[in-house]
Structures are given as structure tokens and as C-alpha cells.
A and B are shown apart, each in its own frame.
Chain A
């Protein structure tokens, strides 16, 4: 186990370095520049502006930024929003995205597993149909539709005044966007849980446990769920990463200043330093989350041996 963690941690900087170079090349070769605006500017003036931000040559840029990132942890200035450094932008937006993403994943996991277990236990009954319908809707209705509907409800219905509209000032303002963001992963988790619960419910050890006199709730929660949750776990890693990175639409509708919006806008603005900063942060997240999930397997199902440990 320790070897695995050490090995994976050693891999991390290498993978990040590869991602840095690939992102840099893509950001640099893409047509368009953060220094062009609504009006045409004399190329000599553009060159002076680039000089001010160390962006006047690709080599300088490729060399300057890794040095600054490694030595000072500084991603430099955003090339579009030049008053702000990439670090400032990430520092202000990342916590919002993490809170929103975590909140959505907590809702998705709790509700998804609950619905999945209920559907499996009451297989074929009305609860099964209902939960499956909810899951189907969750998967098929895009998050921007749900988000817009929730926004309308919060502005016009009895919920008027409970949530701030179009601004994020308190954690409770994340409730509706959290719900909108959680629907798709929730539906997926519900279906995964139901399928694997059905598998486990029919297995020999469940019958044995029942025969030994273990109560139904005990069997379901203690014996079945623990075994059935492994596929859900392997989905949780990428799903959390997806929720953190893919919250752009929901952030846009609810006007939440999270990292998802900045990510998309940085690409549209060709804001090369911001693109690099956000990609590096997201990549680090995805890598760490995947490692965490791999480690969790071992805790949930002792039969799975991690890193060849005996």
C-alpha cells in the first residue's frame, strides 16, 4: 500500500509536466490572442503590451512560467483580465467550485444510493418504478433546463426571497445549483447501486445470513450494500472530477463565480496563462481523486488487494 502511494505520488509531477507542455502547445498554437479586442491595434503597440506581460515570445513564455510556478507557485497575470493574477482568480473561484461540487456529490451519493437500494429491495414494485423514473429523468434532462427551472422557481414561487438571485453571497445560495448539478450523477449512482444490489441480493452469503437469523435491514445495509458499493466507488472518482470541472452551465445560469466559468471563458479569451493555471489545478484534482478512489477500494472490499499487498 505504502509503495503504491509513493509510486503514484512520484508519477504525479511527471504527468503534470506532460499536461503542462501539451496545454501550453495547444494554447499557443490556437489562433486568436488575448491582446486583441474590439478595435484593431497597431502591431507595434500589441508587441509593447505583450512585453509588459512576458508574452512577447513563445520561448520566453514556455521558460518563464514553469520557473515561476515551481519556485514561487505563481502562474503569472491573466492575459485578458490583466489586473488579476491567475493565482488570485483560482484562489477566489476554486473554493466556490469545490463547495458546489462536493455539495452536489454528497446529494448525488446519498440520494442515489438510497434510491438504488430501495429499488433493488422492492424490485418490480411501485418504489422500483418510481425510483427508476426519477433516475431516467435525471439522466435525460440536461442540467441547464433543471437549473433554469429552479432559478425561475426561486424568483417567482413561494421560495421568492429565500435565495439570492444571480449572485452568490452565502453558502445557502449553493443549494439550488447543487441540486441541479447533482441530478445526473445521482441518477447514474441510483442505477449502478440497483444493478449491483440485485446481483448481491441473489448471492449465497445473503441467503446464509438470512438463514442465520440476521434481520432484513441488517443484511441489506451491512452485508449487501458494502459489496454492492464497489462499482459506485469507481464511478465516484471521475464523477467528482467531472462535477468540479463540468459545472460551467450551472455556474452560468446561477451566475456563480466558480472555476468552471473561468475555464471556458479563458479558452474563449485565449487567456493562455489562465488556461494553463486552471488545467494544472484540475489535472492535479483528477489525479488525486483517482488515487483516493483506488485506495478506498481496499477499505470497502478487503478482497481487493491494492498494489499487490498481502
Chain B
């Protein structure tokens, strides 16, 4: 027995002394992302962590750059916009793929076509391009479609012409968003799924050594659930301004060891501090903990359908806007921010996070006013809550904050309006399925904008929108969105969208509770990461001080 024990110990000591990690360059930046990567396939991508890493390895025609992250020419040197603002002609700069191939306009056409033929969560953004929606519909019907009808054309190797259905003031922002990035067709050829009647590729094309990218870094190692290793892309057009030698994305989903890793100096950056630990770190006054406004809002979504979802013969009280207003006005949102989330989140009376969109001004929504709320509820036929059915608040059990908020809401509505609600926690996958199929009454949800325009928020509640979970349809709201969509005057357009938001704030298909904040841990030796609402990292700017 002694021999076994000593052999075991000797073995361990031996392995301890020979760390087999390949030697890494000196300026390696190590960070923990919001979670592990779900996918690096541009077609399937939607999670923040996937998008953040994609910005390091890929680049679009434009890139969010500078202190305010406005789109600046990147893969393109610039573009000509037609007088009707519907045709964009992009002039590509000389840039190289990580395998040395030149990046051409055909790579954009190929990638955008693939977005339409193998659609994913963001392919609807291509609907602004002339002919794209019709093309995608033919694909969805399982028939062969003619791509020449779509307004995406490579005029020559260095010129890309895009024709839009209508002016889209934020189109350059979209070209800076990963679904619009180019792909190298030649390197993906062996992953083509030829058994399908449309353009489709196995997602493995994103893994090293096969993956070919055009960004400041290239992916050289991807160990599932362990780490991703990026190295400088020598063929990148602006390689001389890339300051880091390498980037390691360390996968760690455990909040305690995430923090301990940062504290021990094993990682330089934790992009999103878990909500269970962030308030304590804020309270401790940790100087490396950075907090900033976020581009997202936490709110309750209310099912505004005529009947209660699980009792089809019963009238849904939430179909009456007065009931929804009463629910909204009886919530003490400050209490939730002070006692549950505790990160200094701004209380929300409106939907769009304030100060995140230059030129856009939200109008204040409904204030907290319990007396008025009681009156509204009585007017709707429920004096002092009498006869009000017991409605369930649905929440996702994977999010502990939401469970606590649901409990507070139950208590506040009982105290303020004398109505009972029950709390129903369910697993994430079932939660999303139930909310998207309108099989809920009240649910705790959130929304984060994708591109810096108010429409990224307001479009969600368009009557025919895929993302509209509330069954709320308001002609005035849709009319304002339609007017804004064709308005070419920037200021007028923003006013129309602000008016639309105001309809939402007062008709209350959703009850905004608070606007999120971004929380990151940034080591003292890190330069070039600035906190911003969309939590974008400009990987070229990131540097490590000696």
C-alpha cells in the first residue's frame, strides 16, 4: 500500500514539474468571456460572447471604432451612397485572409448569400436588401432560387454594390455587425453539404486548422470548453497597429473561480462579472471593477391576448390597458435596484436605455403612483383587486435574480393593488418556448439592442414582428414605425421612433423595470478597453503595459 501511495505521489510531482503547455508569446492577453462559445458560424451566431470573439478574428466593410464606436471604414476604404440612399457602392481595400488569399467583393457576396440560403437568427436583417426577402422565402419553401434577383453584386474584385429596398440610416452599422462579415469560400469547400438543395456548410469550417479569417487575429487552437487561442494575423491590412501578440479566451463558467483567476493574475479581463458576485465586488470598491451603462433593459412582458393562455374561455384582464398601467404604476422599481440587483442600475420607466443612442431622446413613461394604479384597476372592473384572477409570473430558473424579483413583485402587487399572483419558475429552454409561443401571462425578460439605432428596440413590438411576444398590436405604433422606416431626415425619423416608444410606454405591453449596466473586471496592466453600452472590444487597441 505504501508503495502504491508513494508511486502516486511521485507521479503527481513529476507531472507538476513538467507543464506541457506550449510556450506562449510574451504579450498574451487572457480573458474570460461572458460564457463559453456556442458557435463561431456567422449564420448561427447570436450570443454576446460569440460576437465578441468574432470581432477579434473577423472584420466587415465597416467596424465600430473610436470613443463612440461609430462605424468607420475597415474592410472597405469607403463607400458611395446614391442620392436616394438606396444604393451603397463599397470600395474594398487590399486586405488578406489569414491563409494569404486576398479579400475580394466575391467573398462578401458568397457570405451574404450563405446567410440567406442557410438562414439563422440574424438573417432577417438582410431583409432590407432588395430582393432578399423574396429569395429567402423561396429557399424556405425548399425550391431553387435565383440569386441574381438580390441586390448584392460584386462589380469587380474590389467593388461591392448593395441595393436596399428603402433607405436604412444604420446600414453602415449593420455592415459592422458579424452576420455581414465576409467568408473565404475556397477554405470552406470541403465542408459543403452537397446533399441539400441549397448552399449549406457544416459548421466545422470555423475550427482550426481549417478556419480562415480576415480580422486582426486568427484562431489557431480551440479546445472545447477549455480555451481558444488567437494569434496575430500577419496578412491583416492594419497588422502594424495590432498591439497584442496573442489572445487566450479561457473558458470558465464558475463565478468563484472566475474571480479567483482574475485576482491571482491568471486572466487580465473578465468581460461580464456574474450577477451573483458583482454587487459584493462593487461594495468592496474594487478599483478594477468597471461599471457602465448597457444597451439593454429588464422588463416584464405582458400577454395582451383576449383570453388567458391556459384557460381559453376566460377573459384576460391584461387585454385592458388600464390593468397593465395599474400593474406598472404599483411597482417600486427603486426597491428592486437597491435590494436585489444592487449595481446602481437606472430605474426604467421607458423601454430604450437612456444615453445610449446619440440624438435619440426617450420621453418619461409611467411613474410609480399606487393611488392612481388602484383607481385604474377599479375603472377596469376590479375595485380593490376584487374578482382579479390569480395570474402566474413566469421566470427562467437559470437566472437567480429574476426569481427574487418575481417574489418582490408578488408582494408589491398584493400590498399595492390587493391582487394575488403566483410565481412559476421553469427551465430556460421551456421558458423561451413558452414566451415565444405566447403561452404565458406575465414573464420576466430582457432585450439588448444589436445595432446602434432605436429601431433595434422598437421593431421588436411591430405587429408582425417575429420577436413580438406580447400579442400587442397597436395601429398607431405600427403607423409610426412605418413612417420612420421611410423618413430620410435623421432628426424627424428619431422623433417618430421616440413617439412610437411613447406609445409603448403608455400602452404597457411591457413594464420596464431597470436598465442594465455592464460590469467588467479589467486588470491594471490592460490598456485600450473602454466600457461602452454594447460592450464592444476594439481588439486592435488592446495592449498590455510592461
Chain B residues within 8 Å of A283, by CB: none
B139 contacts the other chain (Cβ, under 8 Å)? yes
In chain B between 3 and 47, which residues have their CB closer than 8 angstroms to a CB of chain A?
4-5, 8, 11-13, 15-16, 18-21, 38-41, 44, 46-47
Q: Mark B245-264, 1 if CB is under 8 A from A, else 0.
A: 00000111110111011011
The answer for the CA separation of A51 and B197 in the assembled complex, in Å, is 11
Residue of A49, A81, A151, A166 contacting most chain B CB atoms (<10 Å): A166
Tell me the nearest residue of chain A to B257, going by C-beta: A166
Partner of B429, one of A93, A114, A168, A269: A269
Number of A-B residue pairs, CB cutoff 8 Å, is 164
Q: Which of A12-20, A36-44, A286-294 touches B?
A: A36-44
The answer for the CA separation of A262 and B469 in the assembled complex, in Å, is 31
The answer for the CA separation of A161 and B119 in the assembled complex, in Å, is 47
The answer for the CA separation of A47 and B46 in the assembled complex, in Å, is 18
Whether B466 pairs with A41 at a CB distance below 8 angstroms is yes
Chain A residues within 8 Å of B250, by CB: 166-167
The answer for the CA separation of A90 and B253 in the assembled complex, in Å, is 19
The answer for the CA separation of A216 and B263 in the assembled complex, in Å, is 53
A83 contacts the other chain (Cβ, under 8 Å)? yes
B120 contacts the other chain (Cβ, under 8 Å)? yes
Whether A166 pairs with B224 at a CB distance below 8 angstroms is no
Whether A92 pairs with B140 at a CB distance below 8 angstroms is no
Q: Mark A151-168, 1 if CB is under 8 A from B, else 0.
A: 110010000111011111
Tell me the nearest residue of chain B to A31, going by C-beta: B430
Q: Mark B461-498, 1 if CB is under 8 A from A, else 0.
A: 00000110100000000000000000000000000000
Q: Which of B200-208, B281-289, B405-413 touches A?
A: B200-208
Q: Mark A223-264, 1 if CB is under 8 A from B, else 0.
A: 000000000000000000000000000001111010001100
> Which bucket holds chain A's interface residue count?
35 or more
Whether A37 pairs with B47 at a CB distance below 8 angstroms is yes
Tell me the nearest residue of chain B to A92, going by C-beta: B224
In chain A between 40 and 74, which residues have their CB closer than 8 angstroms to a CB of chain B?
40-42, 44-45, 47-49, 51-52
Whether B433 pairs with A92 at a CB distance below 8 angstroms is no
Whether A270 pairs with B429 at a CB distance below 8 angstroms is yes
B266 contacts the other chain (Cβ, under 8 Å)? yes
Partner of A261, one of B11, B225, B266, B432: B225
The answer for the CA separation of A92 and B223 in the assembled complex, in Å, is 8
A115–chain B nearest beta-carbon distance, Å: 13
In chain B between 209 and 263, which residues have their CB closer than 8 angstroms to a CB of chain A?
223-227, 250-254, 256-258, 260-261, 263
Whether A52 pairs with B196 at a CB distance below 8 angstroms is yes
Chain B interface residue count, CB cutoff 8 Å, equals 66
A207 contacts the other chain (Cβ, under 8 Å)? no
The answer for the CA separation of A171 and B223 in the assembled complex, in Å, is 17
Partner of B433, one of A32, A45, A151, A257: A32
Whether B207 pairs with A166 at a CB distance below 8 angstroms is no
B118 contacts the other chain (Cβ, under 8 Å)? yes
B427 contacts the other chain (Cβ, under 8 Å)? yes
Chain B residues within 8 Å of A170, by CB: 15-16, 18-20
Whether B257 pairs with A254 at a CB distance below 8 angstroms is yes
Whether A37 pairs with B121 at a CB distance below 8 angstroms is yes
A44–chain B nearest beta-carbon distance, Å: 4
The answer for the CA separation of A169 and B263 in the assembled complex, in Å, is 19
Whether A166 pairs with B430 at a CB distance below 8 angstroms is no
Whether A172 pairs with B203 at a CB distance below 8 angstroms is no
A238–chain B nearest beta-carbon distance, Å: 23
B415 contacts the other chain (Cβ, under 8 Å)? no
Whether A88 pairs with B12 at a CB distance below 8 angstroms is no
The answer for the CA separation of A41 and B44 in the assembled complex, in Å, is 11
Whether B432 pairs with A253 at a CB distance below 8 angstroms is no
Chain A residues within 8 Å of B124, by CB: 42
In chain A between 62 and 120, which residues have their CB closer than 8 angstroms to a CB of chain B?
77, 80-84, 88-89, 92-93, 106, 110, 114
B436 contacts the other chain (Cβ, under 8 Å)? yes
Chain A residues within 8 Å of B1, by CB: 110, 114
In chain A between 130 and 185, which residues have their CB closer than 8 angstroms to a CB of chain B?
148, 151-152, 155, 160-162, 164-172, 175
Whether B260 pairs with A175 at a CB distance below 8 angstroms is no
A9 contacts the other chain (Cβ, under 8 Å)? no
The answer for the CA separation of A33 and B257 in the assembled complex, in Å, is 30
Whether A84 pairs with B260 at a CB distance below 8 angstroms is no
Tell me the nearest residue of chain A to B267, going by C-beta: A166
Chain A residues within 8 Å of B144, by CB: none
A21 contacts the other chain (Cβ, under 8 Å)? no
The answer for the CA separation of A106 and B123 in the assembled complex, in Å, is 53
Whether B40 pairs with A39 at a CB distance below 8 angstroms is no
Chain B residues within 8 Å of A268, by CB: 398, 427-429
Whether A257 pairs with B257 at a CB distance below 8 angstroms is no
> Can you list 21 pairs linking A and B with CB atoms under 8 Å apart?
A36-B432, A37-B432, A45-B120, A48-B118, A48-B198, A52-B118, A82-B44, A83-B206, A84-B224, A92-B225, A93-B225, A106-B8, A151-B257, A166-B257, A167-B226, A169-B20, A170-B15, A257-B223, A257-B225, A262-B225, A268-B427
Give the interface of B toward A (CB within 8 A): 1, 4-5, 8, 11-13, 15-16, 18-21, 38-41, 44, 46-47, 118-121, 123-124, 139-140, 193, 196, 198, 200, 202-204, 206-207, 223-227, 250-254, 256-258, 260-261, 263-264, 266, 398, 427-430, 432-433, 436, 466-467, 469
Among all A-B residue pairs, the 6 with the closest Cβ atoms: A32-B429, A166-B257, A172-B16, A44-B140, A155-B260, A171-B15
Give the interface of A toward B (CB within 8 A): 31-33, 36-42, 44-45, 47-49, 51-52, 77, 80-84, 88-89, 92-93, 106, 110, 114, 148, 151-152, 155, 160-162, 164-172, 175, 252-255, 257, 261-262, 268-270
